[in-house]
Chain A
Amino acid sequence: MKAAPFEYIRAESLEHVLERLSQHGMDAKAIAGGQSLVPMMAMRLARPTVLLDIYRLPELRQVNIEPDRVRMGATTRQRAIEYEIDLHKALPLVRDAVRWVGHIQTRNRGTVGGSLVHADPSAELPLAATVLNATLRLRSQADGERQIPAQEFFLGPMFTATAETECLVEIEWPVWQGAVATAFEETAMRHGDFAMASAACQLQLDEDGICRRAAFGVGGVDGTPRAFPELARQLVGQRIDESVAREIAQIALQQTEPGSDLHADADYRRHLGVVMLTRVLLKAAQSHHSAPALQH
């Protein structure tokens, strides 16, 4: 399983990358950690003739934590989220998600941007981005920079709104003001596998335990991760108990179109989606702390 031949270019700057992408179009691909791309190239499912290595560009690896947002360079490594305490505090849901991503070796090389652009419908970071409706910044030589909300970025399995000549440069994660409760659950065949179904939820409750703000979504049960902002609004003013959680989860999953594969067919996935979503809603509702505890 050896990749088809290609030309390798170590990017000297972001401009350099954009220029080459512009020049080569779909024959070129940017490579960051390569944890998804290299296996696909080994199986010759992906055959770029030009590989642009963006992994070491400092401008794509900056992380700025601000009171209301975190601006994260696209090649920020997944391990950064795993190990950096400041990011845990600012982005507890993303931290919850990263725990489920692959194995240590994957997270040491893999990047946040890489996972988003690869857009596996079962992947954890795309789900977190969708639920929080992060803002993704893309740049091309011809059109400069544009931004797109995560809920419009994922278009289908392994397919995003990124144009051939564009490079994802930054993810801007919103930070909710005040205490949040988060939960991320997934069920997979083995630990570290892609989820058969996953769910993520971020809530704010008042002192009486009433929901004041909510965001939730499911992964692995459709062609892209799915968030439910309208349904989330319906949770405001409610106390989230088992029956509330289950009812919302069932309505949400009715709106999905799960696929089938060897391990999980559509019916089973939809059922798992309801189970996972119910669980995260309850877990978050029952755990409202001011500072997210480091989960084991």
Chain B
Amino acid sequence: MVDPKHPAYKAFKYIGRSRRAVEHRRFVTGQGHYAADVVQPGLLHVAIVASPYASARILSIDSSAALALPGVHAVLTGEELNSAISPMLPGVDAPKVARYPLAQGVVRYAGEWVVAVVAESRALAEDASELVCIEYEQTPHAVDPEAAMAPDAPQVHPAHGGNIIWHRKFTWGPVDEHFAAAEHQLSYRVRWARSSTVPIETFVATCSWNDATQILDVWASIQMPKYPDLLAKCLHLPGNGVRVHYDVDVGGSYGVKRGLKHTILVGFLARKLGRPVRFLEDRLENMRGGDMQGPDRIFDVSFAFDGDGTVRSMRMRAIDDIGAYAGRSPLQLGKPVGAIVGPYRIASVEYDAYSVMTNKTPQEAVRGFGQAPTNYAIETGIDRIARYLGMDPIELRRKNLIDKDSFPYLIPSGTYYDSGDYEAVMDKALAAAPYGDLLKQRETLRAQGLLAGIGVSTCLEPSGGNSAFEPLFNPKNETTTWMDSCLIRIDLNGAVTALMGTSTAGQAHETLVSTVVGEVLQREPDSIRVLHADSLNSLPSNSPVGSRMAIMLGGAAAGAAKILRDKLLTIAAHNLEVAKDALTYEDGSVYLQSNPARRMSWDALVEIAHRKYHCMPEGMEPGLQEKFCWEVPSGGKMPTEDGRVQMYPCHSFESHVVLASIDQQTGKTHLHRYVVGHDCGVMISPDVVHGMTYGGVAHGLGAALLEKFAFSEEGQLLSGTFMDYLLPSAQEVPSITIVDHCTPSPLTEFGQKGSGEAGYLGGPAAIASAINDALAPVGANIDELPMTPQAVWRALRAAGVKEAQ
């Protein structure tokens, strides 16, 4: 829980306190306002006809039987839709890799949307979709990313010229020299299978077009930067022709809800039909064609190190299979550049990154934006080095961790880590386990005939977001802005309302903002109302991505509140006829330090601002409403020629300690103890931070042990329902202990760092570490996720373990 002794918290009245989240009251009573709850009169419903093949030409589409079914309003094909819109383009320079909501001419993955049927009800739309006749001619397809890289492989987008949509090799520092000079080297391959954070709510978009106002209203379960703008562009609407209602509660996203293609489709249909239209993905559509699958990576890594355990240099080749189209997915190879050495003092790095297209469901952003797989790849190496040298993996980490006096620490790829004390966090986690007990328990479990292992991971959580990977991966895209805003008003009755300009998917932003504003204005946070603006009346935001909102929205709210507080002080100074610095602001009222009886109350100040212009300082605006919009700290710089840039501003850190056992006969893993040491600077809402950390651990556990979007040789998704794609339940996730540490960030108002990806970024690495520690005594190991019982059993059998035969 919150470390009450940490001096950073002493300064605060509300920040860092346990507080009930504002949002929860409506959720526990079933009064949430989710996209599917939005009912519009005359609402029509969409069902999709999807491609059954991974790669094919569309020969013909016959919609006549579908259109004839009573209650069907439209059957839309790509031919009609795509001529009326602009395509979605990738985040890298690949203009020939264009994506439209509906396929036209060819299909590139099994599950790609071909026809959209619109009817009075979803059930009718599904009935009609069965009547649509589509003739296909199958063409060769590519499903293996390494095979797809070959020049003679079947091309997903022939016009692009090859399946590698993006590639760059970065060399930061004298890598060859360091490898030559080091005493030892080792190399390995690890695979991070395709998985995702799979929210329980699927993507939903409802659109309504008004002919008179020429506004497209959108209610969607969205978590995406620049969504209204991109939507408007693709639909050929002016920027102020789209109104996205950010007050829709989003039922979980963790990165993936980027339903631009869904919304373009629905927006088009709403305008065409003059009726509100909703597309609510069912789970089958979501899994196969919702385009929310995550990184799918092969890492080939080499480390150069000395006999005393000092790690000198790293070479990492990452091949990421992004599927048939690219949204922001190639950029998920870019964000990890900002923490490419993890928490270690590695002096040089070569990073060779390939983003490869195959005939599979497209990849989209997932929690961590590529950092979790990269951390897994790095931590695997650290454990392997320890095993190679016969060193304790904890001592090896201790030897290489960046020490607390080295911050801000510049890593070879150009990012400064702002602050940290990695060893302290690791030690706290070890103490909380407690590590000595885990060692004993491991022996006991081994004596019972189980395999048992302790895993440790020490991993970076870059936070705060930045657009820096965009110009890094596409020099033509010169962009450096990554901002957020807040508007606060104090009304005539003295009540405070704050306005934020993006959606929330469980991160408790209303609680965040009201705590921050309460802290600065010194007013009770529960009295502060936080509203979600819509995209027409909001100030700019770049969405809750990259663990940025505590920093950016928190910073914007603090900024606006500070301006307001200063305004109140100025009004008081003017009315008390003293200098501002003679005054003290306390809980919303202002008094003279030398004579506290001379004071002005909150209500009096509010009255003056709203009603007594004659008492206002000269030239001051009437009313009490202030905004603050700011750029990500340490942002605003373009990358260098050799690809160095400050990626994210603030760096949180986590260390997991896990005790696992493996049943040698079944290969099944059981987690006995799970501890996370976590440092995200000052926590504004500790309960929120802890909640997301527990959830991140569960996501990590799923990726490590259970979850995989598996494809057949024919490019068919084999795990397209919840019967085959396995989400961990309360029976699979163990009890988790979190211990907090605090290294405040020098870059933020309160010392806060972001933490929305906590738990997930270090979890799979730690579980793999534990399982490989358990397997090591029998000469087995696993370097591929998920580490399912069958995979573990195969490793045991290959190592000749008797019970596995």
User: A–B direct touch, CB within 8 Å, in complex?
Assistant: yes
Interface residues of A (CB under 8 A from B): 1-5, 43-44, 187, 189-194, 196, 262-265, 268, 271-272, 275
With a cutoff of 8 Å between Cβ atoms, the chain A residues found around residue B788 in the complex are 189, 263
Q: In this assembly, does B400 line the interface, its C-beta being within 8 Å of a C-beta of chain A?
A: no
Q: In this assembly, does B724 line the interface, its C-beta being within 8 Å of a C-beta of chain A?
A: yes
Scan residues 711-736 of chain B and give those whose CB is less than 8 A from a CB of chain A. Answer: 718-719, 721, 723-724, 726, 728-729, 731-732
Q: In this assembly, does B576 line the interface, its C-beta being within 8 Å of a C-beta of chain A?
A: no
With a cutoff of 8 Å between Cβ atoms, the chain A residues found around residue B794 in the complex are 268
Q: How far is the CA of A275 from the CA of B127 in the complex (A)?
A: 47
- Of the candidates B126, B718, B729, B789, the one whose C-beta lies within 8 Å of that of A2 is B126
- Of the candidates B121, B130, B665, B718, the one whose C-beta lies within 8 Å of that of A262 is B718
With a cutoff of 8 Å between Cβ atoms, the chain B residues found around residue A193 in the complex are 726
With a cutoff of 8 Å between Cβ atoms, the chain B residues found around residue A264 in the complex are 789-790
Residue among A2, A187, A196 with the highest chain B CB neighbour number at 10 A:
A2
With a cutoff of 8 Å between Cβ atoms, the chain A residues found around residue B666 in the complex are 187, 272, 275
- Of the candidates A5, A43, A189, A191, the one whose C-beta lies within 8 Å of that of B789 is A189
Determine whether the beta carbon of A2 is less than 8 Å from that of B122: yes
Closest Cβ of chain A: how far from B799's Cβ, in Å? Answer: 15
Determine whether the beta carbon of B127 is less than 8 Å from that of A4: yes
With a cutoff of 8 Å between Cβ atoms, the chain B residues found around residue A191 in the complex are 729, 731-732
Determine whether the beta carbon of A265 is less than 8 Å from that of B790: yes
Determine whether the beta carbon of B793 is less than 8 Å from that of A262: no
Q: In this assembly, does B710 line the interface, its C-beta being within 8 Å of a C-beta of chain A?
A: yes
Determine whether the beta carbon of A268 is less than 8 Å from that of B719: no
Closest Cβ of chain A: how far from B740's Cβ, in Å? Answer: 31
Closest Cβ of chain A: how far from B667's Cβ, in Å? Answer: 8
Determine whether the beta carbon of A262 is less than 8 Å from that of B282: no
Closest Cβ of chain A: how far from B43's Cβ, in Å? Answer: 15
Closest Cβ of chain B: how far from A255's Cβ, in Å? Answer: 19
With a cutoff of 8 Å between Cβ atoms, the chain B residues found around residue A3 in the complex are 123
- Of the candidates A2, A265, A271, the one whose C-beta lies within 8 Å of that of B123 is A2
Q: How far is the CA of A43 from the CA of B287 in the complex (A)?
A: 14
Q: How far is the CA of A193 from the CA of B731 in the complex (A)?
A: 11
User: Known interface pairs A2-B122, A43-B284, A189-B706. Does A263 touch B790 (Cβ–Cβ under 8 Å)?
Assistant: yes
Shortest Cβ distance from B731 into A: residue: A191
Determine whether the beta carbon of B793 is less than 8 Å from that of A190: no
Closest Cβ of chain B: how far from A32's Cβ, in Å? Answer: 21
Q: For the A-B complex with A1-B283, A2-B122, A193-B726 known, give 18 more contacts whose Cβ atoms are closer than 8 Å.
A: A1-B126, A1-B284, A2-B123, A5-B123, A43-B284, A43-B721, A44-B130, A187-B666, A187-B789, A190-B731, A191-B729, A192-B729, A194-B723, A196-B789, A263-B726, A268-B790, A268-B793, A272-B666
Q: How far is the CA of A189 from the CA of B804 in the complex (A)?
A: 17
Q: In this assembly, does B275 line the interface, its C-beta being within 8 Å of a C-beta of chain A?
A: no
Q: In this assembly, does B233 line the interface, its C-beta being within 8 Å of a C-beta of chain A?
A: no
- Of the candidates B121, B123, B130, B732, the one whose C-beta lies within 8 Å of that of A190 is B732
Q: In this assembly, does B668 line the interface, its C-beta being within 8 Å of a C-beta of chain A?
A: yes
Q: How far is the CA of A187 from the CA of B718 in the complex (A)?
A: 21
Shortest Cβ distance from A276 into B: residue: B666
Interface string of B121-150 (1 = CB under 8 A from A): 111001100100000000000000000000
Contact sample, A vs B, 24 pairs, CB 8 Å cutoff: A1-B282, A1-B283, A2-B121, A2-B122, A5-B123, A5-B127, A43-B284, A44-B126, A44-B130, A187-B789, A189-B788, A190-B706, A190-B729, A190-B732, A194-B723, A262-B719, A263-B724, A263-B726, A263-B790, A268-B790, A268-B794, A271-B804, A272-B666, A275-B666
Closest Cβ of chain B: how far from A277's Cβ, in Å? Answer: 12
With a cutoff of 8 Å between Cβ atoms, the chain A residues found around residue B721 in the complex are 43
With a cutoff of 8 Å between Cβ atoms, the chain A residues found around residue B729 in the complex are 190-192
Determine whether the beta carbon of B726 is less than 8 Å from that of A189: yes
With a cutoff of 8 Å between Cβ atoms, the chain A residues found around residue B130 in the complex are 44
With a cutoff of 8 Å between Cβ atoms, the chain A residues found around residue B732 in the complex are 190-191
Scan residues 759-804 of chain B and give those whose CB is less than 8 A from a CB of chain A. Answer: 788-790, 793-794, 804
Closest Cβ of chain A: how far from B52's Cβ, in Å? Answer: 14
Q: How far is the CA of A5 from the CA of B126 in the complex (A)?
A: 11
Q: How far is the CA of A190 from the CA of B668 in the complex (A)?
A: 10
Closest Cβ of chain A: how far from B789's Cβ, in Å? Answer: 7
Determine whether the beta carbon of B790 is less than 8 Å from that of A192: no
Q: How far is the CA of A264 from the CA of B668 in the complex (A)?
A: 12
Determine whether the beta carbon of A275 is less than 8 Å from that of B706: no
With a cutoff of 8 Å between Cβ atoms, the chain B residues found around residue A189 in the complex are 706, 726, 788-789
Q: How far is the CA of A161 from the CA of B804 in the complex (A)?
A: 37
Determine whether the beta carbon of A190 is less than 8 Å from that of B726: yes
Q: How far is the CA of A194 from the CA of B728 in the complex (A)?
A: 15
Q: How far is the CA of A97 from the CA of B788 in the complex (A)?
A: 25
Q: How far is the CA of A52 from the CA of B674 in the complex (A)?
A: 50
Q: How far is the CA of A268 from the CA of B667 in the complex (A)?
A: 10
Scan residues 103-128 of chain B and give those whose CB is less than 8 A from a CB of chain A. Answer: 121-123, 126-127
Residue among B122, B731, B732, B790 with the highest chain A CB neighbour number at 10 A:
B790
Determine whether the beta carbon of B724 is less than 8 Å from that of A262: yes
Q: How far is the CA of A208 from the CA of B447 in the complex (A)?
A: 30
Closest Cβ of chain A: how far from B283's Cβ, in Å? Answer: 7
Q: How far is the CA of A192 from the CA of B727 in the complex (A)?
A: 12
With a cutoff of 8 Å between Cβ atoms, the chain B residues found around residue A196 in the complex are 789
Q: How far is the CA of A1 from the CA of B724 in the complex (A)?
A: 17
Closest Cβ of chain A: how far from B705's Cβ, in Å? Answer: 9
With a cutoff of 8 Å between Cβ atoms, the chain A residues found around residue B706 in the complex are 189-190
With a cutoff of 8 Å between Cβ atoms, the chain A residues found around residue B723 in the complex are 194
With a cutoff of 8 Å between Cβ atoms, the chain A residues found around residue B719 in the complex are 262
Shortest Cβ distance from A42 into B: residue: B282
Closest Cβ of chain B: how far from A17's Cβ, in Å? Answer: 26
Q: How far is the CA of A269 from the CA of B665 in the complex (A)?
A: 12
With a cutoff of 8 Å between Cβ atoms, the chain A residues found around residue B127 in the complex are 4-5
Scan residues 673-730 of chain B and give those whose CB is less than 8 A from a CB of chain A. Answer: 706, 710, 718-719, 721, 723-724, 726, 728-729
Residue among A3, A189, A275 with the highest chain B CB neighbour number at 10 A:
A189
User: Known interface pairs A262-B724, A263-B788, A263-B790. Does A192 touch B731 (Cβ–Cβ under 8 Å)?
Assistant: yes
Closest Cβ of chain B: how far from A51's Cβ, in Å? Answer: 15
Shortest Cβ distance from B730 into A: residue: A191
Closest Cβ of chain B: how far from A138's Cβ, in Å? Answer: 29
Q: How far is the CA of A79 from the CA of B732 in the complex (A)?
A: 23
Q: How far is the CA of A196 from the CA of B126 in the complex (A)?
A: 33
Q: How far is the CA of A208 from the CA of B611 in the complex (A)?
A: 98
Closest Cβ of chain B: how far from A143's Cβ, in Å? Answer: 36
Q: How far is the CA of A268 from the CA of B728 in the complex (A)?
A: 22
Shortest Cβ distance from A1 into B: residue: B282
Q: How far is the CA of A196 from the CA of B284 in the complex (A)?
A: 24
User: Known interface pairs A2-B122, A268-B793, A272-B666. Does A190 touch B284 (Cβ–Cβ under 8 Å)?
Assistant: no
Which 3 A-B pairs rank lowest in CB-CB distance, beginning with the nearest?
A: A191-B731, A2-B123, A1-B282
Determine whether the beta carbon of B793 is less than 8 Å from that of A271: yes
With a cutoff of 8 Å between Cβ atoms, the chain B residues found around residue A265 in the complex are 790
